[in-house]
Amino acid sequence: NAGVTQTPKFQVLKTGQSMTLQCAQDMNHNSMYWYRQDPGMGLRLIYYSASEGTTDKGEVPNGYNVSRLNKREFSLRLESAAPSQTSVYFCASSEPLDRQTQYFGPGTRLLVL
Amino acid sequence: SQQGEEDPQALSIQEGENATMNCSYKTSINNLQWYRQNSGRGLVHLILIRSNEREKHSGRLRVTLDTSKKSSSLLITASRAADTASYFCATRPDNDYKLSFGAGTTVTVRA
């Protein structure tokens, strides 16, 4: 039982390049989330998926797109990376609705030059 | 926007001492959760307290919730070096199921 896995662990991009961050969970959770974490700040929600087939914007969605490929997988795409997107990205999934305890992946460190 | 704010931002204690950190929030909540993040790792859920609960214990952790003051505290008793981490509170509002995280308290436990 791997929990939440993310790939890659670390990535360096040049401004304007694109990339997709992958996330998968094996806990049969309905809801999945993408956050970014910047120094001195908590986690900010980028996008979330309440259930398979649905996605919604969070607090900071600009510059990102997501795909809920199936119940297990939720990917985050940067179409044209900018230095402001340098951050650590975390994927999470959650238990049934009434608790919303979230389980996090190990994170992807992204550096945009 | 961030709903919860932790205080202090950083805390340094001696091994064996207790560590207390606080979280304040703005809107009514369904529950409040505390998470730990070790350096370079993802967040790990520690404890959840519902809005109708006042205190909860889990091992060396004690969480209190005062909904009238919109605040919570996390107490770690008899701290160990392994408790060195950042601690985040997260609130689930009444009218939403998404969590809102604070900026965290960084705790350093000195040997």
- pLDDT per residue over B31-60, tens digit each? 999 999 999 999 999 999 999 999 999 999
Q: Inter-chain contact A100–B44, Cβ cutoff 8 Å?
A: no
Q: Place B96 in a pLDDT band, splitting at 50, 70 and 90.
A: confident
Nearest residue to B79 (alpha-carbon basis) of B35, B18, B38, B8:
B18
pLDDT > 90 fraction of chain A, expressed in percent and rounded: 84
Q: Place A100 in a pLDDT band, splitting at 50, 70 and 90.
A: confident
Please check whether residue A47 is in contact with residue A64, taking contact to mean a CB–CB distance below 8 angstroms. Answer: yes
> Residue A96 above 70 pLDDT?
no
Give the nearest partner residue to B42 out of A42, A44, A105, using CB atoms.
A105
Size of interface A-B (CB pairs under 8 A): 55
Among B24, B48, B98, B105, which would you mutate to test the A interface (most chain A Cβ atoms within 10 Å of its Cβ)?
B98
The three-state secondary structure class of A90 is strand
Q: Inter-chain contact A42–B45, Cβ cutoff 8 Å?
A: no
Chain B within 8 Å of A34 (Cβ-Cβ)?
A: no
Nearest residue to B34 (alpha-carbon basis) of B10, B65, B66:
B65
pLDDT at position A97? 63
Please state the rounded mean pLDDT for residues A40-46.
88
pLDDT at position B4? 73
Chain B within 8 Å of A32 (Cβ-Cβ)?
A: no
Give the nearest partner residue to A100 out of B42, B92, B102, using CB atoms.
B92
Phi-psi region of A59 (alpha: psi -120 to 50; beta: other; left: phi over 0): alpha
